Amino acid sequence: MGKGNDCFSALSSSALSLLKPYLTEIVFRAGTILWGSRKLSSEVYFPVSGLISIILPASDGVSVEVGSISRQAAVGAIFEPGQVDFCTQGVVKLGGSFIRMPGSHLLFAAKENSEIENLVTYCRDWILMQAQQMAACNAVHAADMRFCRWLFQACERMDIDTFHLTQEMIASLLAIRRTTVTLIARKLQAEGLIQYRRGKIVVLDRARLRAAACECCNSLTHQHWPSTRLLNTSALKLHLQS
């Protein structure tokens, strides 16, 4: 257990051994709420084949995604020890396999091991970076560009081209109307970028989808993924020791 998430794969065997006793694997279906203001979390989740959306609900019932976590990162109770409230919700948008562990054990291990400390720091950085970028993206970029950005990033992070997503799910992620999603999906399908039918999206041309997306894709590339940063830090450490 533990090799399904890229962050674990980037850890040394000694660092991973500190976490292994506390890791459990679980399958979550799409729509599962992992945390929220009425469902507090004491766990940290490491996606293996699923995707977690960090959602910011508004008082008028509208919500918007401010970040997403797939197998290159982790999310959950890693911000503040003993946190008793969350302004966000953690929702499984793409169901699959996940690895979870108590946040208290992860934070304790981070005090004992520099690699795990880096893991926690990089995951926090990744969440903050996405939230900042999404705030700007949602404010200034057109809905069709944001749709393409989300879909391209999901392809890149999960390395798949087929997604089971309803129009309602996409609309809630991007804080747009379902009818707007319908028009965008029809246009992209007519142009040969995607195939969409009955809640199933198949990306036919990643390169053209990327070209149709906003420039936010340039700011949230793989070099910022926690797993990539962990690998780079380990490589630098080995280089300095040699």
For residue range 118-155, what is the model confidence (pLDDT) as tens digits? 999 999 999 999 999 999 999 999 999 999 999 999 99
Q: Is the pLDDT of residue 79 over 80?
A: no
Please report the pLDDT score of residue 134 as a whole number: 92
Nearest-5° angle of CA 121, CA 225, CA 40?
55
**Both 124 and 194 in a single domain?**
no
Sorted by sequence, the CB contacts under 8 Å of residue 213 that are 6+ apart come out as 145, 146, 148, 149, 151, 152
**Both 52 and 70 in a single domain?**
yes
Please report the pLDDT score of residue 219 as a whole number: 87
**Both 156 and 45 in a single domain?**
no
Tallying the residues shown for the chain, one arrives at: 242
CATH of the domain at 114: 2.60.120.10
Residue 46 lies in a domain: yes
Q: Is the pLDDT of residue 1 over 70?
A: no
- Considering the entire predicted model, what is its pTM? 0.92
H or E segment to which residue 169 belongs:
helix 167-174
* pLDDT tens for each residue of 173-219: 898 999 999 999 999 999 999 999 988 999 999 999 999 999 998 88
Helix (H, G, I), strand (E, B) or coil at 208: helix
**Both 209 and 237 in a single domain?**
no
**Both 30 and 113 in a single domain?**
yes
Q: In terms of residue numbers, what domain contains 71?
A: 6-139+221-241
Residue 80 lies in a domain: yes
Residue 116 lies in a domain: yes
**Both 201 and 173 in a single domain?**
yes
Residue 39 lies in a domain: yes
Q: Rounded mean pLDDT of the chain?
A: 91
Q: What percentage of the chain reaches a pLDDT higher than 90?
A: 76
Residue 165 lies in a domain: yes
How large is the average pLDDT for residues 98-105? 95
Q: Give the chain's domain count.
A: 2
Q: Is the pLDDT of residue 168 over 60?
A: yes
Q: Is the pLDDT of residue 81 over 70?
A: no
Distance CA 22, CA 188 (A): 44
Please report the pLDDT score of residue 19 as a whole number: 97
**Both 128 and 150 in a single domain?**
no
**Both 74 and 102 in a single domain?**
yes
**Both 146 and 195 in a single domain?**
yes
Residue 189 lies in a domain: yes
How large is the average pLDDT for residues 167-178? 90
Helix (H, G, I), strand (E, B) or coil at 118: helix
Confidence band for 77, pLDDT divided at 50, 70 and 90: confident
Confidence band for 58, pLDDT divided at 50, 70 and 90: confident
Residue 207 lies in a domain: yes
CATH of the domain at 194: 1.10.10.10
Confidence band for 2, pLDDT divided at 50, 70 and 90: very low
**Both 20 and 122 in a single domain?**
yes
Please report the pLDDT score of residue 37 as a whole number: 73
**Both 112 and 147 in a single domain?**
no
Residue 1 lies in a domain: no
Please report the pLDDT score of residue 85 as a whole number: 59
**Both 200 and 112 in a single domain?**
no
Q: Is the pLDDT of residue 3 over 60?
A: no
The more confidently predicted of residues 88 and 209 is 209
Do 170 and 181 form a contact (C-beta atoms < 8 A)?
A: yes
